[in-house]
């Protein structure tokens, strides 16, 4: 499938970049905003055929493109999607549109640079999600980093934006450097084993790696991804980054960037090093569980709305990791679904916080109270999103959470029970926050004259709410796309784990004998 003669995935990667270049030649801020919106919309519309033309019957990579990039070293420009990445790509193009909309009046200076950063970021996100070559993936992975760094550092909150931006950059960098080393080691192992140098993931999946090495390599990949997710105890960059970033930055950070971590596990770390993943399953599951409970408890006590949502992300992403490492159909499907859900619910929460921040220039919960009275429309949206985040049946959050809990329960009853207990805390911190912001009498006179949502804001939120219900009521629409891919992922994983005996794994094997 081509658009303007360019294969669709390449188009999706490079169209925002081309758009960014066009922006360079525009002077008027208003025109820049409209142009960016148009670019983001075209990009989103162009990504829709992926959904409709996607063949749900096959687990093979689709819309595949494969060219040499640096042939001498086996680096290729190989991109494609399967049921796992399809929905994430759509989430990225979808959220970018909303991000442009919610930045409309919030960004008042250097609008051009801001919009260029955003489009650049979109290129990075799409690229990282469709890349099937490790070097290509690594390049896009790093490409995402720079615009996000700028978004926080320039358009962030004046007080602590530099600290937050550098913290974000260094945390992510620390992980990804090790990953790069691991990628190179993997290349040489493969070169030795097959005589062919390649960074093609699909080729490398087939490689049998000795156990000891596998652990090291998995560790390097897992660290990079765990920081990005972020998993406990690597999460402390997240509250700072979220709090200081502009609204759109928080939305895209929560919505897509964090998913790069979880996606990295399912696309790279787990299928490349299945035995190591299996060995470390208890560790990762326990860290995920700690994240669920810890994130919820810390979130409960936050005085700052954005920090509260940020810690709730730690909790929610804990569910995603737990489901993924349950290594059964319900767990993994729930995990992927929850990635999307989190993008939508938490993305919406950040949009909503941004909307009152724009009005009141404060994010402190104690500055609010009684807002329902003056902003009834806002209250409805906020309530729906809160319920989605709590995982109320009928909303998207329930489907994902239910499957993850069921998957975890099947993998290990204790995990299932503990994670289900986290659901109680989820209701506690969200409803308490909602009550303090929205209910009660208006005590702060500054809140009395607040204007309800305007048309642009409503238009931003309506698609989110529609998705919340669509995904909650008719999840089959989305599950049917990922079914086969997830089954294949699990089958391959199990297959490789069972082949363990054939691998040169002297130490483990000898001890067992």
Partner 1 sequence: MLDLVWLIPLFPAIGFLINGLLGRRLGKGVVSVVGPSAIGLSFLTSILIFFELINKPPSERLFEKVIFDWVVSGSLQTVIGYQIDPLSILMALVVTGVSFFIHIYSVGYMHDDPGYARYFTYLNLFVFMMLNLILANNFLLMFVGWEGVGLCSYLLIGFWYEKDSAANAGKKAFIVNRVGDFGFILGMFLLFTSLGQHGIWTLDFTEAFANANKLDTATVTAIALLFFVGACGKSAQIPLYVWLPDAMEGPTPVSSLIHAATMVTAGVYMVARCNVLYNMAPIAMAVVAIVGVATAIFTASIGFCQYDIKKILAYSTISQLGYMFVAVGVGAYAAGIFHLMTHAFFKGLLFLGAGSVMHALSGELDIRKMGALRKKIPITFGTFFIATLAIAGVPGLSGFFSKDEILWMAFSSGRGHFLLWLVAAIAAGMTAFYMFRALFMTFFGESRVDHHVAHHIHESPKIMTVPLMVLAVASIIGGYVGIPHVLGGANHIHEFLAPVVGGGAEPVKAQAIFSLISEAWAAGGGAGGHSAALELFLMAVSVVIALIGIGIAYFLYLKNPALPRMLTEKWKGPYRLVSNKYYVDELYQFLFVNSLKRLGTGLWKGFDEFVIDGTVNGIAYFIGWLSGVMRKMQTGFVQNYAFSIVLGGLILAVYYIMRAFF
* Near partner 1 by CB under 8 A: residue from 180, 439, 497, 500: 439
Residue 26 C-beta: closest distance to partner 1, Å:
40
Nearer to partner 1 by C-beta: 210 or 475?
Answer: 475
Q: Which residues sit opposite 2 in a β-bridge?
A: 7
Binding mask 228-257 for partner 1 (x = CB under 8 A): -----x--x---------------------
**Which member of 28, 474, 494, 504 binds partner 1 (CB under 8 A)?**
474
Core vs surface per residue 330-340: b (16+ CB within 10 A) or e:
bbbbbbbbbbb
Restricted to residues 398-427, the positions that interact with partner 1 (CB under 8 A) are 398-399, 402-403, 405-406, 409-410, 416-417, 420-421, 423-425, 427
Q: Which is nearer to partner 1, 431 or 503 (CB)?
A: 431
Of 118 and 415, nearer to partner 1 (C-beta) is: 415
Query: Which of these ranges, 106-114, 140-148, 164-172, 200-208, lies near partner 1 under the rule CB under 8 A?
Result: 164-172
Provide, rounded to whole angstroms, the least separation between the CB of residue 493 and partner 1: 14
Is residue 149 involved in binding partner 1 (CB under 8 A)? no
| The one among 282, 394, 504, 506 contacting partner 1 by CB under 8 A | 394
Question: How many angstroms separate the Cα of 286 from the Cα of each of 234, 319, 404, 409, 415?
Answer: 14, 11, 15, 13, 8
301/233 Cα distance (integer angstroms): 18
Contact map string, positions 268 to 307, toward partner 1, x by CB under 8 A: --------------------------x--xxxxxx-----
Tokens of 133: 């070559």
* 131 Cβ neighbours under 8 A, 6+ residues apart: 78, 79, 137, 140
Please list every residue from 306 through 335 that binds partner 1, using CB under 8 A: 328-330, 333-334
Residue that the structure tokens 């080691």 belong to: 185
107: left (phi over 0), alpha (psi -120 to 50) or beta: beta
Query: CB under 8 A: which stretch of 35-43, 74-82, 193-201, 430-438 binds partner 1?
Result: 430-438
**Count of residues that interact with partner 1, criterion CB under 8 A:** 54
- 420 CB neighbour count, 10 Å cutoff: 17
DSSP string, 272-315: HSHHHHHHTHHHHHHHHHHHHHHHHHHHHT-SBHHHHHHHHHHH
Q: What is the contact mask toward partner 1 in residues 337 to 376, using x (rule: CB under 8 A)?
A: ---------------------------------x-xx---
* DSSP-H helix ranges across 195-280: 201-204, 211-228, 237-244, 247-252, 258-264, 270-272, 274-279
Which one, 117 or 372, has the nearer CB to partner 1? 372
- The angle subtended at Cα 416 by Cα 339 and Cα 491, nearest 5°, is 60
User: Terminus-to-terminus CA distance in the chain, angstroms?
Assistant: 54
d(CA 36, CA 34): 5
Q: Please, what is the minimum distance in Å from the beta carbon of residue 13 to partner 1?
A: 31
At closest approach, how far in Å is the CB of 203 from partner 1?
Answer: 29
Please spell the DSSP secondary structure of 419-437, one letter per residue.
Answer: HHHHHHHHHHHHHHHHHHH
Q: Does 494 bind partner 1 (CB under 8 A)?
A: no
Nearest-angstrom CA–CA distance, 505 and 259: 33
Q: Which is nearer to partner 1, 424 or 501 (CB)?
A: 424
CA dist list (Å): 57 to 337, 480, 482, 496: 19, 9, 9, 23
For residue 324, the minimal CB distance to partner 1 (Å) is: 14
List residues binding partner 1 (CB under 8 A): 167, 170-171, 233, 236, 294, 297-302, 328-330, 333-334, 370, 372-373, 387, 392-394, 398-399, 402-403, 405-406, 409-410, 416-417, 420-421, 423-425, 427-428, 431-432, 435, 438-441, 473-476, 479, 487
């Amino acid at each position: 499938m081509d658009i303007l003669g360019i294969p669709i995935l390449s188009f999706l990667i490079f169209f925002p970049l081309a758009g960014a270049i066009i922006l360079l030649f525009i002077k008027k801020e208003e025109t820049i905003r409209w142009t960016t919106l148009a670019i983001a919309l075209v990009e989103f519309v162009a990504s829709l055929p992926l959904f409709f033309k996607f063949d749900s019957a096959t687990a093979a990579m689709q819309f595949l493109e494969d060219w040499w990039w640096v042939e001498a070293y086996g680096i290729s420009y190989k991109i494609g999607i399967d049921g796992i990445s399809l929905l994430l790509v759509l989430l990225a193009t979808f959220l970018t549109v909303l991000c442009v909309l919610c930045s409309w009046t919030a960004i008042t200076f250097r609008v051009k640079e801001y919009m260029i950063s955003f489009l650049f970021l979109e290129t990075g996100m799409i690229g990282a999600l469709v890349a099937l070559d490790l070097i290509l993936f690594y390049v896009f992975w790093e490409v995402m980093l720079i615009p996000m760094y700028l978004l926080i550092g320039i358009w962030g909150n004046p007080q602590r934006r530099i600290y937050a931006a550098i913290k974000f950059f260094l945390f992510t960098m620390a992980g990804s450097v090790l990953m790069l080393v691991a990628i190179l080691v993997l290349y040489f192992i493969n070169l030795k084993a097959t005589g062919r140098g390649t960074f093609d993931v699909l080729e490398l999946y087939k490689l049998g790696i000795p156990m000891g090495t596998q652990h090291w390599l998995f560790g390097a990949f897992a660290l990079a991804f765990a920081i990005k997710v972020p998993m406990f105890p690597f999460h402390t960059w997240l509250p700072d980054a979220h709090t200081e970033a502009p609204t759109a930055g928080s939305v895209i950070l929560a919505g897509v960037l964090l998913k790069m971590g979880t996606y990295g596990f399912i696309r790279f770390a787990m299928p490349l090093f299945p035995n190591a993943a299996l060995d470390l399953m208890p560790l990762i599951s326990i860290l995920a569980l700690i994240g669920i409970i810890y994130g919820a408890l810390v979130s409960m006590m936050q005085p700052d709305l954005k920090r509260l949502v940020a810690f709730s992300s730690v909790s929610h992403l804990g569910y995603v990791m737990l489901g993924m490492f349950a290594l059964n159909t319900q767990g993994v499907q729930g995990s992927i679904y929850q990635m999307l859900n989190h993008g939508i619910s938490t993305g919406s929460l950040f949009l909503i916080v941004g909307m009152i921040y724009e009005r009141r220039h404060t994010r402190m919960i104690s500055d609010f109270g009684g807002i329902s009275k003056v902003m009834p429309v806002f209250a409805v949206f906020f309530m729906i999103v809160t319920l989605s985040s709590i995982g109320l049946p009928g909303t998207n959050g329930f489907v994902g959470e239910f499957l993850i809990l069921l998957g975890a329960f099947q993998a290990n009853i204790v995990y299932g029970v503990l994670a289900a207990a986290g659901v109680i805390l989820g209701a506690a911190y969200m409803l308490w926050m909602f009550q303090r912001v929205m209910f009660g009498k208006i005590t702060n006179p500054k809140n009395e004259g607040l204007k309800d949502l305007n048309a642009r804001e409503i238009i931003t939120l309506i698609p989110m709410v529609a998705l919340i219900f669509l995904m909650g009521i008719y999840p089959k629409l989305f599950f049917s796309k990922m079914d086969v891919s997830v089954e294949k992922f699990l089958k391959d994983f199990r297959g490789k784990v069972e082949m363990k005996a054939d691998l040169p794994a002297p130490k483990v094997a000898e001890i067992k004998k």
